[in-house]
Chain A
Amino acid sequence: MSRFLFYLILVNMLANIIALTPRVLVAGNDNGTILSLILVLPVIIIVSYIIISLFRHFPGQGLPEILKTYTPKWIATPVLLFFSVCWYFAGLISLIIYTSIIIRFVTPDMHISIILLTFVLVITYGILMTPRGIFYLTEIIFLIIVPFIAFILIKGYSNFYFQWDYVRVAIMHINHLPDYAAFSSSLYISIGIANLVIFNRFFTKLKKPTWKGMALLTAICTFLLLSTYFIPVGLGGFDSLDNVLYPWIMTSDSMRMKYGVIERILFFFIGAFLVLAVVSITMLWHVSLQLLSGAVQFKRFKWKRYNLTTPFFIVCFWAIAMYEIATISLDGLYRSFRIFDEYFLPVIVFLLIGCLLLAKKGAASKWRESEK
């Protein structure tokens, strides 16, 4: 299994640890979070396996090319548009969450649109890179960040105030039926493999998922998913996190390095995950932009030799982001996050697999025709 597949999954997973997913998990803690977590693991492994196997049939092609070649146009265009909007909103939600985290915990004096401006230049440059460039970027970021994250996780588990009893209390609630909100939210953070819709362009020889690779993936996913839930619960207590929007940030702020130059783990934490978030948003919006320009191209919209469609889309991206960030409330953000997870996510997964199956069928019949 190519190491880049792991990055697709892990970046998405890690970038969301800090975001709203722990909040959803904690909210359902006396309901069915545990069983949802247990249930989501086989689901993501199977979904990942299916998606990788399906994309193997289309080496070096992204979803726009696949759909355009093998399916009728009235299917391809709406599906691409829908996916593009979904990916855009996934990125947008991340962006808004991180902006609100920054204004609350790092630079409270700054205007919120200036914080957004921080990202504009870098992310715009990032989404215009090639898939190869984004992968190499991810790899380097990973090498720099993973030690920090490992440090934070170890620090969390080995903390004096980390009470395994809270974890045991949380596990005791295994007898509840699975909670759909917790299930979809944890599915969301582990569905990073869906980015393959564009990043498959990089893989001209995607290998079949190996047992070793899948086992490693399962192990990492299990560890991270459980840590996402258990570390805040173990440190913060089972009942007391109910009114906290960002449980992980509260948790990390309760850790201290006695002899460090930087005393509060919080800054390590926000810094490390901010980097991952930027990479994650870059990935999501790169996918969105490519899907969008795969579906819609204005041929007349030109300045000199350059087609202005892509820059126009990017300007739209930022304009919507600017508007949303100025108007949305935290409550609205939380609700839209849940709506995205609970209603859109399953549709995306089924639609993606359905489209790929259809395209595979189309490819097979085309191949048979050319045989004749």
Chain B
Amino acid sequence: MTEKQGTPGLPEAPALFNELLKQLKPSEDIIHTPLQIKGHCAFLLYVKTVVDGNTLQQTVIRPFFEMASKESFSSYIQSLPNQIDMPSTSQLLNLLTVGAVLIAIGDKIFLLDFRLNKNNEVQETLMEPTIHGPQKGLSEDIETLVNLIRQRYANPSLKVESLIVKNSANQLITLLYDDDQVDPVILKEIKKRFKNIGTRLFQSAGDLQHFLNKGKFSLFPSALITERPDRIVYNLNDGKVIIAIDGSPDVIIAPVIFFDFMSSMEDNYHIFSVTTFTILLRYMGLFVCLLLPSIYVVVTSYNPDIMRLELALTVAGGRIGVPYPSFIEVFFMLFFVELLTEASMRLPKAVSSTATTVGGLILGTAATEAALTSNIMIIVISAVAISTFIIPINEMSFAIRVLRLLLLVYTILFGAVGLVVGFIGLIMLLVNKESYGRPYLSIPWMNKNDELRMDKK
């Protein structure tokens, strides 16, 4: 701690400085230093580790020694672009800890922003890769993030609103929206949710999203988390609100509907026929990974007569020697596939391929040879595992994994009818859900807006 208060020949530092110093004290990186030349002097107070020293030297310290008088220096400081208005004392402390510099010239005190951020590189898109489209995602620094979005969406109607959450880390949250497109009701609703956000600590966008959701036991995500700038711009243009957190490379998009989770940005970059084909493929994948385990239980244990005779015999033949009913078989295999998925997600990249090989290939073959499962079950389970990954947004694919189990339980209890009725139940859950006042699942026809408005009035 550099403290030169006692040096003779120097005027006293302002009272505010002493007060602040007292509060910041036992920290090693607090710098409180006087600048002095020919009778006039200035005081600097900042936290060394978060301030960009070079810029400070260039824009403050050197001009101080070159300027002729105290007045010209203070008017020079006043004209700097990174000057911040003086806030209250408690907030001042927060600002100092993120990179503000306090300068006292005579009895005038200025606050300048010299934030040093080493975390502002733009990241690659990892979670939602596309073949075409931008390869770079967002940044962990919120200013870089807003900059990236502004560069792509050059429109004066794009509004940026920041607020600081009063939790122990004083996190900065920024709302972005297109003022012309956004639905004011939804914007108000989102702001209202932020008001009673409390003092919880957020680690990522996913964490915040979870908190913004009303229901604790919701099965489906009611906001979308993305790292793709093109998806953000696309959604801004649709009148949605983007919520960014300082320090998280993902943003939250709200409100969302079910179909948002089923669309990849790639859909916009291909020709019509290809896009239609991939979308169709995706929905078929959705149905396969949701229904196939339950269908297997139905056609082996409840109604083998549904399938044509040859197929029914093949399935039954494959199960010869399997010592327990089909539902235990399905649970057993699903359990291992889920374990495998979890494991390969959490492991370092170098190890995860080993895990997949051991788990997928060896376990599969050995399980059939040991007559613990039928070989058709292996096909079913791999088809299910693959088609789970076809859902573009991760949260939805996690949700579908859970839903699959619920449907499976319903089918085990009630057979073929249970499968059909349970499926309707799932649609009911989706239809009944709302995301910030918007219906979650509804078929968007041409006059959707008319009908929504008709409904609201």
Contact = CB atoms under 8 A, between A and B. Distances in A.
Interface of B: 302-303, 305-309, 311, 413-418, 420-425, 427-429, 431-432, 439, 441-443, 445, 451, 454-455, 457
Contact of A118 (B417, B428, B429): B417
Contacts of A122: 421-422, 424-425, 428
Given A133-B432, A262-B306, A140 B427 contact: yes
Contacts of B431: 129, 133, 136-137, 140
21 contacts: A107-B417, A117-B414, A118-B417, A125-B432, A126-B428, A130-B432, A133-B439, A136-B431, A136-B441, A140-B431, A140-B441, A140-B442, A204-B454, A261-B308, A263-B309, A264-B306, A271-B416, A271-B420, A274-B420, A275-B423, A278-B420
B421 A133 contact: no
Contacts of B441: 136, 140
A118 B418 CA distance: 6
Nearest to B305: A264
B442 A136 contact: yes
Contacts of A114: 414
Interface residues of A, number: 41
Contacts of B451: 2
Contacts of A137: 424, 427-428, 431
Interface in A274-319: 274-275, 278-279
B414 A136 contact: no
Interface in A1-33: 2-3
The B contact surface, by secondary structure, is helix
Residue of A3, A118, A262, A279 with highest tally of chain B CB at under 10 A: A118
A332 interface: no
A212 B413 CA distance: 47
Interface in A89-147: 102, 106-107, 110, 114-115, 117-119, 121-122, 125-126, 129-130, 132-133, 136-137, 139-141, 143
A50 to B, nearest CB: 22
A132 B427 contact: no
A125 B309 CA distance: 38
B308 A136 contact: no
Given A122-B425, A275-B420, A136 B307 contact: no
Contacts of B311: 261
Interface of A: 2-3, 60, 102, 106-107, 110, 114-115, 117-119, 121-122, 125-126, 129-130, 132-133, 136-137, 139-141, 143, 202-205, 260-264, 267, 271, 274-275, 278-279
B417 A102 contact: yes
Residue of B414, B417, B455 with highest tally of chain A CB at under 10 A: B417
Nearest to A271: B420
A126 B421 CA distance: 11
B455 A202 contact: yes
A98 B106 CA distance: 90
Contacts of B443: 136, 139-140, 143
B336 to A, nearest CB: 27
A262 B455 contact: no
Contacts of A204: 454-455, 457
B421 A119 contact: yes
A198 to B, nearest CB: 15
Given A2-B451, A139-B443, 17 more contacts: A107-B416, A110-B415, A114-B414, A115-B417, A117-B414, A118-B414, A118-B421, A125-B428, A125-B429, A133-B439, A139-B442, A140-B441, A202-B455, A203-B454, A261-B307, A274-B417, A278-B421
